[in-house]
Chains A and B, each alone.
Chain A
Amino acid sequence: GIQVEQSPPDLILQEGANSTLRCNFSDSVNNLQWFHQNPWGQLINLFYIPSGTKQNGRLSATTVATERYSLLYISSSQTTDSGVYFCAVVNNNDMRFGAGTRLTVKP
């Protein structure tokens, strides 16, 4: 099945810093989503982005489907951004998640 790799696995930032999270996938995908799992375990939908670029406040995402990767940008990070960020792709009627990037934002 399709492989989904996220990098880096862990990221520690000072509040106010910017960061880029990456998601690589091994095959073509029908869609791609980014999620944030907060410290209470809730999975929050960030972007539905099978291709192109989207922005929502301090967050933006870009998916280059032909090159099989997606990037999530977080600008001016805040302590509330802490948690685990997952990308998930759909391929052959199956959804696969990456292992996630654990982000810690320090005040």
Chain B
Amino acid sequence: DSGVTQTPKHLITATGQRVTLRCSPRSGDLSVYWYQQSLDQGLQFLIQYYNGEERAKGNILERFSAQQFPDLHSELNLSSLELGDSALYFCASSVGPWYEQYFGPGTRLTVT
């Protein structure tokens, strides 16, 4: 158990819908990261937050957004969902930007 929690574990929704994925970092970690893993794209970095502020952006689509709240948990919002958004979404946390990262169990999103 890495100490990083993610909810829900599984999510099935329809095209065009909007979903919110939630992540709680390990105790003491200030940085939170979001990643997408799909069969065709592999593992991709989406976005990083540090102590509530956005610190780095990767291959995150404009339809996706995230935030980190004062209690340090983070949410990833995915809107106008397409079939190609079906993937495993991981959250990770670390004590600071780009320090050793620990991954949560992931949320498997299926868009039908």
Contact = CB atoms under 8 A, between A and B. Distances in A.
Chain B: interface size category: 20 to 34
If over half of B's interface residues share one DSSP class (helix, strand or loop), that class is named, otherwise mixed; here it is: strand
B45 A96 contact: yes
A10 to B, nearest CB: 15
Contacts of A48: 99-100
Contacts of B52: none
A92 to B, nearest CB: 9
Given A41-B106, A86-B43, A93 B56 contact: yes
Contacts, number: 46
A97 B103 CA distance: 14
A84 to B, nearest CB: 10
Interface of B: 2, 33, 42-45, 55-56, 58, 88, 90, 92, 98-103, 105-106, 108
Given A33-B100, A42-B106, A48-B100, 8 more contacts: A41-B88, A41-B108, A42-B103, A45-B103, A48-B99, A88-B43, A93-B98, A99-B42
- Which are the 7 A-B pairs with shortest beta-carbon distances? A48-B100, A43-B103, A97-B43, A95-B45, A93-B56, A90-B98, A45-B102
24 contacts: A31-B99, A33-B100, A33-B101, A35-B103, A41-B88, A41-B105, A41-B106, A41-B108, A42-B103, A43-B90, A45-B100, A45-B102, A45-B103, A88-B43, A90-B98, A93-B55, A95-B33, A95-B58, A96-B45, A97-B42, A97-B43, A97-B45, A99-B42, A100-B42
